[in-house]
Structure 1
Amino acid sequence: MGLKVLSALDTARTQYYHFKAILIGGMGLFTDAYDLFCISPVMRLIGRLYYTEEPMNGVTPPSIVSITLAIALLGTVIGQLVFGRLGDRVGRRRVYGLALMLMVSSSVGCGFSICRTRKCVLTSLCFFRFWLGVGIGGDYPLSATIMSEFANKDTRGSFIAAVFSMQGFGILFSSAVTMIVCAIFNRVSGSPVKESRTPDEADLAWRLILMLGAVPAAMTFYWRVMMPETARYTALVEQNIRQAVKDMERVLDVSINEIKEDVDQFLPDPPSYGLFSKRFLQLHGRDLFGCAISWFLIDVVFYSNNLFQSQIYSRYLPKNTTLNAYQEAINVAKIQAIIAICSTIPGYWFTVAFIDRIGRVKIQMIGFFFVGLCLVAIGIPYYRYWSHTNAGFLILYGLTFFFSNFGPNTTTFIIPAELFPARFRSTCHGISGAAGKVGAIIGSVGFLWASQNKDKSKVEPGYHKGIGMMTSLVLLGVICLVGMVFTFFFTRETMGRSLEENEKEEGNDDSNTLFRSLTINSTQRSPAIAAL
């Protein structure tokens, strides 16, 4: 189409508003990570308060932990589908603030429960975590799409990765809040190291931890509702170039002389084919399949990996019989912070630094390969070598987080925001993300149960007969290698190209069908694949 307003976006220099958009968009991802990582120490406190009877002895059953995680993830699936579609139908900014309001109110709601019985508290917690998941899910496609449509083509990948990297700060904030809250309550209560009865004040501590996650997100609410609609949505979907030019002038330092010729330009009608029509599948079906399957596979592994932290806690932390509830929660948060600082956050920022140099496809394949390699290296000799306290285990485990984030955990968030037409972009990102969160449910529930020791169910309550850690880890490693293969065959490179070039609206139908031949010449695939 050659609209100058879009060309100006692609070539605009990096400026203040880009960084402001990163902060605004990143708060949803920040809240997502906070919610995911604060639940482990929170469940330690809940176990001490509500599972005091024999034979639980202050330990929350794994089935309860799985349910609280799965409920939030189910909400995320729904939020990604619903808000993703709304973002294309009524506009990105019109529903952007709604997603944040839902996150903030649900985070606060997670800490409120007027009852003190175990069943009532857990029911209330799950109810609000579901709606928290809906809000978080809605934020995914909107944040990625808005950032992609504001960014220039040379640094677009880095900007979207920077939005996603806010998860790392969410992990650190979660750990810091947990340690500070528990340290304050521990000091006020004056509890001795050995405490046969957890003080009632601990019931307030875990609620505060959950509610404080809403504060950073709430602080960006004004910015979010005041930001203009993206120029690409206004010009290409609403067909209003004049308004797109005005909105662009508000936030970006671009000369009006560069884009004023667009104001009176005639726009042809957009393509009439609908979502999931035959024409859509011909042009974009393969891309949608590639985005969805890659996100599904990495989330199976990534969310399973988070739950394997319980194995680290059992090795490197004192038994809960030697610590009071607050000290146990502090130590769990401390381990999470160390892993985040040493592996998770560096992985995010390696992606920010290199994604517009190396390319999305190469980074995704490298990440899948090395995560799979580390998991297999842990899994095969697990019972013979890694089942005891060992620094090598921690190093390999940390590398799985590094290469998840310097790899598919980040690239699967970026690529769907770059491949699809403006009128389908948010929807297709939501579909891809929903597929990922289905994988997360499988990982957080299925693999948690599967990883349990085959004989543990005979001696410990709340456990069942699983396939064991070794088999689970090796299976996750194989899933990573499958993800690498799917990336090779189904993922197109988007680096250095405008969003309109990536859409390929006028491309060859045969080269974009979902089931096109896997034997096409490598030069017809992405530049990254051709270079391998």
Structure 2
Amino acid sequence: MMGKEPLKVLNALDVAKTQMYHFTAIVIAGMGFFTDSYDLFCISLVTKLLGRIYYYDGGNNPGSLPQNVSAAINGVAFCGTLAGQLFFGWLGDKMGRKRVYGMTLLIMVISSLASGLSFGKDPKAVVFTLCFFRFWLGFGIGGDYPLSATIMSEYANKKTRGAFIAAVFAMQGFGILAGGAVGIIVSSIFKALYPAPAFHVNPTLSTVPQADYVWRIVLMLGAIPAALTYYWRMKMPETARYTALVAKNATQAAADMSKVMQVEIQTESDMSQVEIQTEPEKVQELGGNDFGLFTKRFLRRHGLHLFATATTWFLLDIAYYSQNLFQKDVFSAIGWIPDAKTMSALEEVYKIARAQTLIALCSTVPGYWFTVAFIDRIGRFTIQLMGFFFMTVFMFALAIPYHHWTLNGNQIGFVVLYSFTFFFANFGPNATTFVVPAEIFPARLRSTCHGISAAAGKAGAIVGAFGFLYAQNSIGLRFVLLLLGGANFLGMLFTLLLPESKGKSLEEISGEAHEQPNAESALEAGLQV
């Protein structure tokens, strides 16, 4: 139910000029995503190092993680993320965005530190404790998705809302870049302090004991940006849309936004507001937007939208996380990263980190910011459709003439096309699948629906993380790339089910605004009786 006071507050938000508080909110919410991506993707830098440290058997090959262990280390955080998205998405609608926003950061800080302190008497024990803490790290990361997206969408004005939400998500690119940079710096320092011969020169000495500190330091540094952001998150007020539409307290919403926007928002204290607060049963009878997730009204109005946001995010993440987590395997397969036997353990970490940083710098980060620049000009729908299309094209361009790239010394050409798939993932569905669910659902279900959509995406990431290793070993990299191209093509088809939300208020998109006049008339009629 939306009375006159909530409408006045929300209208003030929709037409507000871009101010410092918008950028402050982007940084506060974005640092969570910086940490998220750092923690999720830095593990790919150190998995080969873990294999050399804990699974070298004294033979002629550097140690490598068993297939099931590698899949578990890469995938367990996604399992936690999926659970966190569902739980905190639901909790954000029940308790408010702000009240649970700090919890996610605390979990991330504690779990990042604990991951680096993983202990045990043997390799299995170390891997088990690492997986345990990375599950809870993922749980905290999962909560950041629906809460950050919802908070930013509810703070923003309608003219630049897409750019602001996309800017929060774009911090993920800097997190990936930071992970690579930290890998380069830490491995370089340890290489200088503890030089070691290549594996084929002296297998026993190629992995120095101090290499065990490298992966721990890389993982633990992920706690720093999250810890620095906690205080500022606690100072953020609750969003006006939650306070006005869900908590039914328009006066408090106006007061909060007046402080934040440094503009006086007047409210009218009338009997209709009192009735809304004191007689919820009557309000329920009169109609409004207070229907639940598992109702026919939700299914009729938003069921297809939720199916589309969940399906497109699922299909995207199968390809996106497969590419990100296993870049090192792809680059090794085409010969862009030298054979492990020709390097020491620390040298291998350095070269993997350098390759991943180069990809992030040249394609991943620019892709995010192209979305920020154009999303409010050409729209979410167009960017997502275009992104899936070009991801499909470039994936097939890699897979169909695969031997041309790998056997004829054309590794650079392969890497260039591979980089374009990352660029159009981020100037495309990787950003828009995050933005759209934060805009098209009602306020009282916005966080929940975003969490469901994001959890579907992480189910796709789990398929990518666990499936890529087994598929690569059984059918080869070429056919894996063909399958990922097929997933991108299906994502393009399901995008056709999504509405365009550019330039509209959140209430217009969700249908809450259309109900308002009828609801007010009904309320006035009820009060007269």
**Superimposed CA distance per residue, residues 153-192 of structure 1 (whole angstroms, 9 cap, x where no aligned partner):** 0100000000000111101111111111111222222334
**Superimposed CA distance per residue, residues 393-451 of structure 1 (whole angstroms, 9 cap, x where no aligned partner):** 11110000000000001100000000011100000000000001001111111133112
- Structure 2 unmatched runs, 5+: 277-282, 516-529
Distance 1:253 1:378, change over 3 A: same
- Equivalent AA in structure 2 for residue 164 of structure 1: F
For the pair 1:347 / 2:367, whether they are aligned, the reply is yes
Aligned to 2:24: 20
Distance 1:226 1:4, change over 3 A: same
Alignment match of 1:477 (pick from 477, 485, 506): 485
2-structure distance, mates of 1:192, 1:135: 40
1-structure distance, mates of 2:17, 2:135: 40
Aligned to 2:449: 428
For the pair 1:133 / 2:171, whether they are aligned, the reply is no
For the pair 1:333 / 2:361, whether they are aligned, the reply is no
- Listed as ranges, the matches of 1:115-126 within 5 Å are 115-126=120-131
2-structure distance, mates of 1:388, 1:178: 31
- Equivalent AA in structure 2 for residue 472 of structure 1: V
1-structure distance, mates of 2:219, 2:323: 22
Distance 1:307 1:219, change over 3 A: closer
Aligned to 1:517: none
8 A Cα contact 2:74 2:325, kept in partner: no
Alignment match of 1:49 (pick from 53, 67, 70): 53
For the pair 1:33 / 2:53, whether they are aligned, the reply is no
Alignment match of 1:417 (pick from 438, 442, 445): 438
For the pair 1:361 / 2:381, whether they are aligned, the reply is yes
- Listed as ranges, the matches of 1:439-458 within 5 Å are 439-452=460-473
TM-score w.r.t. the length of structure 2 is 0.90
- Equivalent AA in structure 1 for residue 384 of structure 2: Q
Aligned to 2:426: 405
For the pair 1:179 / 2:184, whether they are aligned, the reply is yes
2-structure distance, mates of 1:95, 1:156: 23
Aligned to 1:519: none
**Superimposed CA distance per residue, residues 434-472 of structure 1 (whole angstroms, 9 cap, x where no aligned partner):** 0010011111111331122xxxxxxxxxxxxx1222222
8 A Cα contact 2:62 2:340, kept in partner: no
8 A Cα contact 1:378 1:396, kept in partner: yes
Distance 1:265 1:175, change over 3 A: farther
Please state how far the C-alpha of 1:506 moved relative to its aligned partner: 7.2
- Equivalent AA in structure 2 for residue 334 of structure 1: R
- Structure 1 unmatched runs, 5+: 453-465, 509-532
Please state how far the C-alpha of 1:61 moved relative to its aligned partner: 3.1
Please state how far the C-alpha of 1:113 moved relative to its aligned partner: 2.6
2-structure distance, mates of 1:482, 1:154: 31
Distance 1:319 1:235, change over 3 A: same
1-structure distance, mates of 2:379, 2:172: 21
8 A Cα contact 1:10 1:498, kept in partner: yes
- Listed as ranges, the matches of 1:204-219 within 5 Å are 204-219=213-228
2-structure distance, mates of 1:184, 1:365: 44
2-structure distance, mates of 1:486, 1:222: 40
- Equivalent AA in structure 2 for residue 233 of structure 1: Y
Please state how far the C-alpha of 1:55 moved relative to its aligned partner: 6.7
Aligned to 1:273: 291
Paired residues in the alignment total 491
Q: Which runs of 4+ in 1 moved over 6 A?
A: none
1-structure distance, mates of 2:121, 2:44: 20
For the pair 1:500 / 2:507, whether they are aligned, the reply is yes
Please state how far the C-alpha of 1:59 moved relative to its aligned partner: 2.1
2-structure distance, mates of 1:115, 1:208: 17
Distance 1:239 1:507, change over 3 A: closer
2-structure distance, mates of 1:108, 1:281: 42
Please say which of residues 309-318 and 241-250 is displaced more in the overlay. 309-318
CA RMSD between the two structures: 1.7
1-structure distance, mates of 2:420, 2:93: 37
For the pair 1:59 / 2:64, whether they are aligned, the reply is yes
8 A Cα contact 1:4 1:262, kept in partner: no
Alignment match of 1:230 (pick from 239, 247, 260): 239
**Superimposed CA distance per residue, residues 480-505 of structure 1 (whole angstroms, 9 cap, x where no aligned partner):** 111111111x1000000000001114
1 or 2, which has the higher helix percentage? 2
Please state how far the C-alpha of 1:246 moved relative to its aligned partner: 1.4
TM-score w.r.t. the length of structure 1 is 0.89
Among all aligned residue pairs of Structure 1 and Structure 2, give the percentage whose two residues are the same amino acid. 55
Distance 1:148 1:272, change over 3 A: closer
Alignment match of 1:312 (pick from 328, 331, 343): 331
Please say which of residues 58-67 and 355-364 is displaced more in the overlay. 58-67
- Equivalent AA in structure 2 for residue 244 of structure 1: A
8 A Cα contact 2:41 2:325, kept in partner: no
Distance 1:121 1:56, change over 3 A: farther
Aligned to 2:170: 165
8 A Cα contact 1:378 1:386, kept in partner: no
**Superimposed CA distance per residue, residues 312-369 of structure 1 (whole angstroms, 9 cap, x where no aligned partner):** 1341122222221111101100001100011001100000000000000000000000
- Equivalent AA in structure 1 for residue 240 of structure 2: A
**Superimposed CA distance per residue, residues 215-251 of structure 1 (whole angstroms, 9 cap, x where no aligned partner):** 0111000001111100110000000111101111221
1-structure distance, mates of 2:69, 2:233: 35
Aligned to 2:498: 491
